[in-house]
Structure 1
Amino acid sequence: MNFRIPIFSLLMIGFSQSAFAQIKEEQLILDRKREPEIKKIEKKKTSVEAEKNYPPREKKIEDSLNLRYTVTDVPAASDFKTSTIQGEDISPKFEAENLNNYFQLGMGNFGRILADGNIGTKLENEIEVGADFHVLSTSGLKKEYPWSSKQNIGNVAAYLNANGEKGKFNVIADYGLNDYNLYGIYALQPDADTDLKQRTNRFKVNGYYDFYSNEILNNVRLKTSFLGDHFNAKESQAEIRVNLSKHGVELPVGNDVVLNADLGLNLETLNTDFAILQENSSKFLNATVAPQVTFFNGDSYLMLGSDFSFLNAKNSTANTDQVQENRTYWFPKAELQFAAADEFKFYAGVTGGLQLNSFANLLETNPYLLSDQQLRPTETKYKGYVGLRGDIDQQIKYDFRAGFGKINDMVFFRANDLFDTSVSGNRAAYDYANSFSAVYDNGKVSEVKASVQYFPLANLTLDAEAQFTKYDLENYEHIYNVPLLKAGIGAKYSMLNKKLHLGANAIFSTDLTTNSFEITESGSQPNVFISTENNDDKVGGYADLNLSAEYRVHKNFSIFALGNNLLNSNYQTFKGYKVLGAQILGGVKISF
């Protein structure tokens, strides 16, 4: 698909202007992730004001390194999320002059109801407290499935920001509920009143303390997470990170070479217990020591470091005794950037690391997982990369990057067969060949990423991104449910003195390879199902078009309209799980 970004964006702008009289039909879904970290609070206007004479020179140096252009740090990624039923967040967020506190309410087709708001206030001594909530309900795909595919999601958070004499502090307590159905049944035809219910509850508390000076103790982070589900799975996770550093050390070698020295200390625990089928139980304790030094001269730098991880793992099932394993890992870490100019910065590096795979994190990618998983950490032995990034006249930001890596126990998702082959009897919600399990394999990964942002006008932003990823696995012929190519293009435009905000985005994906099952009744064994597995099934790719509009009628009152999947494509995210069709939602927003 050869889209010229400026032409596409101008067409979208022209369409939005001509359709302004029909704003109530121009609606779209935005993705506002709520990760309870300091970043979440700082992106709001409710953040505490900057301290006098802060940051010092050392902190400015550190920040300048942390704000390098990368696909992650300067994403040209969409603000929109694909039209999945699960995890939709359709609250419109624009970078506009909004007041601190707001409440918005919207309604749309598919029985969707949205309620969303934030309230915060400043207390004495530069302390700020606030609360944030988001609720979305949908009746699902009644015309596609006779059984229920409805969903209710909710999130409530309370936060505190404070400035002290030596640093600033942030803490957030967050509760999330996802009440949905495992509706993706393609191999059987159950009754309409079949119980397919799944529900997850997750409570998180995150804290962060950032010291103004980088003298030895730089910052401290604490994360905790507790998850339970409808099938009595229990998971607890805790992590503490401490960064010790000495920054801005001028070296006696001339040419303004400056040294940053860091030592990262990380301790993470993960305990997971499942209560059905094999009743898998996992306990992990991972300690990481990460020394690192960075030499830089202007925008050019050389970073050298390592990660040393010490893992204690315990795994058991209902039928096997506990197996304990202790392992030590070493991972390389280095990056070189040569800044020929702001427009051209060449970089290359290598990285690696150990990542614990929790049930909670896997559910964020695939909420249709079986509530009984074998958990393993993923070991990225190494990932080498080269790239070019830059900023051209503060109008174009880009990052082109290619990489190759070796990964052990990379995780992806495989469809499950029937667990009970009996034709008669009550069947569990996950036992219709409609659930997935995490599987692991060692292999090599080749990837190419491209990200571009273009700012032709002060009130217009265009962006595009694409990612090509190829896997070569040791045991599986294909990696399941991962596209070869993903891409997106989008535009944001404000007009009428920033009273009207328009947005457009299109998301593209190639086919997914998956396994699937054909289930029939056995002729030789009455009342018994037999299944045949296809290991090379395809889930078709898709194109998803989204539009948005918000108009500020008064400084305290706005109306918004959102439209998602306007091409009305019933594509699938996983085998059997069709997404909502063309979605329409409109509402009002009150700011105060």
Structure 2
Amino acid sequence: MKINSLSVVIMFLFFTGFTYAQDLGSETVEVVKPYTPTVSDASKIRETPKISDSVNLEKRPVQYSIFSVPVASTFAPAKGRATTVERQRPPKLYDNYITLGFGTYTSALAEFYSNIEVTRTDNFGIFLTHNSAQGGIDGVELEDNYYDTELNLNYSSRNRNLIWNTDFGVEHRLFNWYGVRGDEVSNNIIDDIDPQHNYYSIYAGGEINWEKAFFDRAEVKYRYFGDDFESNEHRLTFKPTLEIPIGGELFHTNVILDYLNGSSSLAIGDSEEINYSYMNIGLASSLVVLRDDLTLNLGAAIYYSYDSENSDSGIYVYPQVTASYRAAGDYFIAYAGLEGELRQNSYYEFTKENPFLTPGVGIAPTDQQYKAYVGAKGKLTSSIGYNTRLKYMAEDFKPLFVSTPSDPSEALSRPPYAFGNSFAVVYDKVSTISAFGELNFDVNRKLNLRINAEYFVYDTDEQDEAWNLPDFKANLLADYQITEKWFAGANIFIVGEREDYGTFDFTSGIPVVEENVTLDSYVDLNANLGYRFNDRLSIFARGHNLLGDNYEKWADYPVLGLQVMAGATYKFDFGR
């Protein structure tokens, strides 16, 4: 049992006091201050005590040596070689090329392109193209040859903060109104018909792009268009674009100025001159919002249209909202939109779609009230892409091509397009529902396939049908690099049935439609095969309408049958 020193002290004081109490008698003891121990009263133990030792041992250095004995060896390591990646030589690019081709129906194809480097930043280009055929379609009584020629000159400049270009061009197209029904026109009259028709066009324009400027870009274009039946048309468009960052977002504003003026002195059943003139001014603004996988475009457009010939004007407002969302990266992208616009039609654009028009067709803008669509696109696998879309579109004053009746007047006094062999333009309010689907196959670096199809349902207001609009369209494109020298391609397009005006009754002196005509659907197969001798010279063979079907794209206008063409392309640089 351990007894500490404090207990000993207490016992000592107790017995001592008891002794003094016996000798001195009773006393009063006053405690002035209790005992309060402090840290200084305790002794601290050193963690590292000092060691006192009279014997000091001295460290002796260790000395050692290696006994080296040479060993004979026959091993000789081989020198390593770094693995290299096989590099494909980039193709040689040339500034000029010329293509010539000839085929059946005495067809000819010619292209020439030249790019001249004026300075390190400026270039001048020339492009000439010609496509023609002398005709010879089975069952056609009139001349059916055609040709299309265009020359374009352009000048461009690329600087650090400014890119601009200008172009000037001329076009000449020749067609024939050969769609005459043999049962309505006698052979004697057919021999006196000259169905040839020419279109002429001259245009000039330019485009400018700024970097880090208030104006993002601007473009301007003027075109004169006319024919050999005294029709002429002038069109001027100017479209500047502003881009302003606001709060980390981009604010786009497009200004549209579109002026159209034209006239024609000839039209079936109307000897007066037809004039038209429209001034359209539009402002389209949108805010682009980017949030991770979401892209949102919020905007609207407002147009003011003035018809000076009829002293009529109107204001049109359209939504312009689009959105896309990457739900699963590149594999699934959902998108939707609600858009509209005021689209100005022109005689030039109509003839590009249907060259067999009657001079003096009516021209008016189309009010595309809205176009609502929803779809999805992306990849099924790393080599298969897809795109699907469902769309509903409402349009007012939508142009429709319709066959014109024969003029019941004296045959010799009729113009060459008044034998039921031309087309007029009528306007109607049309609603369209369409479903679209597309697949892209990147089989490998050499083979690429694309298949798409679209189905249409139309609803008209005044017209019986949506004239000459197909109910179905499909297309297949294939490109195949067979070897380094050989290449091939194919194109198959299918167009469904169309409705058009049919036979007419002239008993009352006024043409009355007896029965509408349904144009059959058709399939057109095209293919090409080529061989490349070197970087400069290659030859090709092309086949068009390989099924040989003289289908009718327009009523009473059968197309050329099976066509084959062969030619060559040569690339070069001047002075080399």
When the two structures are superposed, what TM-score results if normalisation uses the length of structure 1?
0.77
Deviations 1:188-234 (A, max 9, x none): 34424520111000112231111123x42100011211101010101
State the partner residue of 1:240: 238
Aligned to 2:557: 577
Tell me which residue corresponds to 2:74.
none
Q: Give the drift of 1:565.
A: 0.4
Q: Which amino acid aligns with 2:499?
A: T
Aligned mates of 2:350, 2:180 — CA distance in 1 = 21
Alignment match, 1:451: 438
1:464 matches 2:464: no
Q: Alignment partner for residue 548 of structure 1, among 512, 528, 550? A: 528
Where do 1:328-339 residues align within 5 Å? 328-339=315-326
Alignment of 1:111-150 (within 5 A): 111-150=106-145
Contact 2:135 2:560 in 1 (8 A): yes
* Distance apart, 1:326 and its partner CA: 1.2
Equivalent in 242, 252, 261 of residue 262 of structure 1: 252
Alignment of 1:501 with 2:487, yes or no, is: yes
Cα distance in 2, alignment partners of residues 382 and 116 from structure 1: 41
Distance apart, 1:479 and its partner CA: 0.6
Q: Which residue of 1 aligns with 2:397?
A: 409
1:288–1:509: structure 2 CA closer, same or farther, 3 Å change rule?
Answer: same
Equivalent pair of 1:142/1:148 in contact (CA under 8 Å): no
Match of 1:5 in 2: none
Say if 2:341 is the partner of 1:373: no
Residue of structure 2 equivalent to 1:152: 147
Within 1, Cα distance between the matches of 2:94 and 2:363?
A: 44
- Structure 2 equivalent of residue 347 of structure 1: 335
SS in 1 for 2:369: strand
Report percent identity of matched pairs. Answer: 23
Q: Which residue of 1 aligns with 2:185?
A: 188
Give the letter for the 1:500 counterpart: W
Once structures 1 and 2 are overlaid, which stretch shifts more, 266-275 or 295-304? 295-304
Q: Which residue of 2 aligns with 1:296?
A: 290
Conservation of the 8 A alpha-carbon contact between 2:504 and 2:515: no
* Structure 2 residue 305 is matched with structure 1 residue 308: no
Residue 434, structure 1, aligned to residue 421, structure 2 = yes
Task: Report what 1:203 is aligned to.
Answer: 202
Deviation string, structure 1 residues 223-279 (Cα, Å, up to 9, x no partner):
2111010101010101010110124x5x5xxxxxx5111111110100010111342
Which residue is equivalent to 2:225?
227
Deviates more, 1:408-417 or 1:203-212: 203-212
Q: Distance in 2 between matches of 1:338 and 1:104?
A: 45
Change (3 A) 1:130 1:272: same
Provide the rounded CA distance (Å) in 1 between the counterparts of 2:550 and 2:366.
33
Change (3 A) 1:390 1:222: same
Which residue, out of 377, 380, 387, partners 2:375?
A: 387
2:541 alignment partner, one of 561, 564, 580: 561
Write the deviation string for residues 502-531 of structure 1: whole angstroms up to 9, x where unpaired: 0011111111110022467x6xx9xxx875
- Secondary structure class of the residue paired with 2:311: strand
| Partner AA of 2:185 in structure 1 | L
Once the 2 structures are TM-superposed, how far is the Cα of residue 430 of structure 1 from its aligned partner? 0.7
Q: What is the rounded CA distance, in whole Å, between the counterparts of 1:547 and 1:342 in structure 2?
A: 32
Runs of 4+ displaced beyond 3 Å: 95-98, 391-394, 529-532
Per the TM alignment, residue 558 of structure 1 is displaced from its structure 2 partner at its CA by 1.1
Amino acid at match of 2:175: Y
Q: Deviations over 1:318-374 (max 9, x none)?
A: xxxxx2111111001111211112111111110001011100011111111111111
**Equivalent of 1:282 in 264, 276, 284:** 276
- Aligned letter for 1:234? N
For residues 413-461 of structure 1, give each alpha carbon's deviation from its aligned partner in whole angstroms, at most 9, with x where no partner exists. Answer: 1111123x13442431111111111110013211111222211101111
> 1:158 and 1:299 mapped to 2: Cα distance?
43
Q: Which residue of 1 aligns with 2:347?
A: 359
What is the alpha-carbon distance in structure 2 between the residues aligned to residue 387 and residue 290 of structure 1? 24
Q: Quick check: 2:475–2:492 contact (8 Å CA) kept in 1? A: yes
**Cα distance change, pair 580–519 in 1 and its aligned pair in 2 (3 A):** farther
- CA–CA distance in 2 between the matches of 1:311 and 1:571? 41
Q: How many Å separate the matches in 2 of 1:188 and 1:481?
A: 24
Where 1:361 maps in the other structure, the secondary structure is helix
Instruction: Provide the secondary structure at the position in 2 that maps to 1:425.
Output: helix
CA contact (8 A) 1:357 1:378 kept: yes
Closer/same/farther in 2, CA of residues 193 and 150 from structure 1, 3 Å limit: farther
Aligned length: 474
1:241 and 1:176 map into 2 onto residues whose CA distance is 24
Q: Which residue of 1 aligns with 2:100?
A: 105
1:41 maps to: none
TM-score by length of 2: 0.79
Unaligned runs of 5+ in 1: 1-94, 252-257, 316-322
Q: Residues 225, 394 of structure 1: CA spacing in aligned structure 2 closer, same or farther, 3 A cutoff?
A: farther
2:263 aligns with 273
Q: Bigger relative contact order, structure 1 or 2, given CA contacts below 8 A and separation 6+?
A: 1
Distance 1:107 1:483 in 2: 32
Is 1:398 the counterpart of 2:348? The answer is: no
- Per-residue deviation, residues 33-90 of structure 1 (Å, max 9, x unmatched): xxxxxxxxxxxxxxxxxxxxxxxxxxxxxxxxxxxxxxxxxxxxxxxxxxxxxxxxxx
SS at match of 2:443: strand
Query: What is the deviation of 1:314?
Result: 2.6
Partner of 1:78 in structure 2?
A: none
CA RMSD of aligned residues (A): 1.9
Amino acid at match of 1:115: A
Is the Cα–Cα contact under 8 Å of residues 91 and 535 in structure 2 kept in the other structure?
no
Q: How far apart in 1 are the matches of 2:496 and 2:414? A: 34
Q: CA deviation at 1:136?
A: 1.9
Tell me, in whole angstroms, the C-alpha distance in 2 between the residues paired with 1:434 and 1:289. 41
- Mark the runs of 5 or more structure 2 residues left unpaired by the alignment: 1-89
For residues 218 and 515 of structure 2, the distance between their equivalents in structure 1, rounded to whole angstroms, comes to: 46
Of 496, 499, 506, which aligns to 1:510? 496
Instruction: Work out whether residues 148 and 192 of structure 1, in 8 Å CA contact, stay in contact via their aligned partners in 2.
Output: no
**Cα displacement (A) at 1:491:** 0.7
Q: Secondary structure at the match of 2:308?
A: strand
In 2: Cα distance, 1:336 partner to 1:276 partner: 48
Moved more, 483-492 or 293-302: 293-302
Structure 2 contact 448–478 (Cα < 8 Å) conserved: yes
Residue 141 of structure 1 and its aligned partner are, at CA, apart by 2.6
2:164 alignment partner in structure 1: 169
> Structure 1 residues 427-436 or 442-451, which shifts more?
442-451
Is the alpha carbon distance of 1:534 and 1:502 closer, same or farther for their aligned partners in structure 2, counting shifts above 3 Å?
farther
Task: Quote the offset at 1:312 in angstroms.
Answer: 0.6
Q: 1:422 to 1:453 in 2, by over 3 A?
A: same
2: distance between equivalents of 1:381 and 1:567?
41
Whether the 8 Å CA contact 2:137–2:558 is kept in 1: the answer is no
SS in 2 for 1:554: coil
Q: Distance in 2 between matches of 1:139 and 1:193?
A: 20
